[in-house]
Amino acid sequence: VTGASFVVFNGALKTSSGFLAKSSIVEDGLMVQITPETMESLRQALRDKKDFKITCGKTDTGDMKEYVDICWVENEEKTNEG
């Protein structure tokens, strides 16, 4: 679990790169590089207020995967304090 001050979603990852998606820590935030298709799915999930999971890692790797989970919560007041 990584806490971040901000998240950047970059939808320019090419499918020929060999990655499903890539995540990296940038300063005190998180940058997630995703394909244009995944970006469109993410946009739709945000519009619909649905949870969304991005699987990061190489396409040919078996178990070694990282995940970026976007989760909607019931009560924003407590989760965003401080």
30-78 per-position pLDDT tens digit: 999 999 999 999 999 999 999 999 999 888 866 667 899 999 888 766 5
Q: 6-13 — which CB contacts under 8 Å span 24+ positions?
A: 6/30, 7/31, 7/32, 8/32, 9/34, 9/39, 9/42, 10/34, 11/35, 11/36, 11/38, 11/39, 12/36
Q: Which strand (E) or helix (H) includes residue 78?
A: helix 76-79
Domain 6-70, classified CATH 3.30.1360.220, yes or no: yes
pLDDT of residue 15: 87
Pairing of strands 19-26, 29-33: antiparallel
